[in-house]
Amino acid sequence: GAGVSQSPSNKVTEKGKDVELRCDPISGHTALYWYRQSLGQGLEFLIYFQGNSAPDKSGLPSDRFSAERTGGSVSTLTIQRTQQEDSAVYLCASSLGRLNYEQYFGPGTRLTVT
Partner 1 sequence: ELKVEQNPLFLSMQEGKNYTIYCNYSTTSDRLYWYRQDPGKSLESLFVLLSNGAVKQEGRLMASLDTKARLSTLHITAAVHDLSATYFCAVADSGAGSYQLTFGKGTKLSVIP
| Residue ranges binding partner 1 (CB under 8 A) | 31, 33, 35, 42-45, 48, 50, 56, 58-59, 91, 93, 98-99, 101-108
Instruction: Give the nearest distance from C-beta 81 to partner 1 in angstroms.
Output: 26
Instruction: Give the nearest distance from C-beta 105 to partner 1 in angstroms.
Output: 4
Residues 6+ apart with CB under 8 A from 89: 36, 37, 38, 108, 109, 110, 111
Comparing CA positions, the residue from 93, 69, 77, 71 lying closest to residue 19 is 77
**Comparison of 16 and 56: residue with beta carbon closer to partner 1:** 56
| Phi, psi of 4, rounded to the nearest 5 degrees | -70, 130
**Comparison of 50 and 82: residue with beta carbon closer to partner 1:** 50
Tallying the residues shown for the chain, one arrives at 114
**Whether 15 contacts 82, CB under 8 Å:** yes
Instruction: Give the nearest distance from C-beta 5 to partner 1 in angstroms.
Output: 11
**Comparison of 9 and 81: residue with beta carbon closer to partner 1:** 9
**Comparison of 73 and 104: residue with beta carbon closer to partner 1:** 104
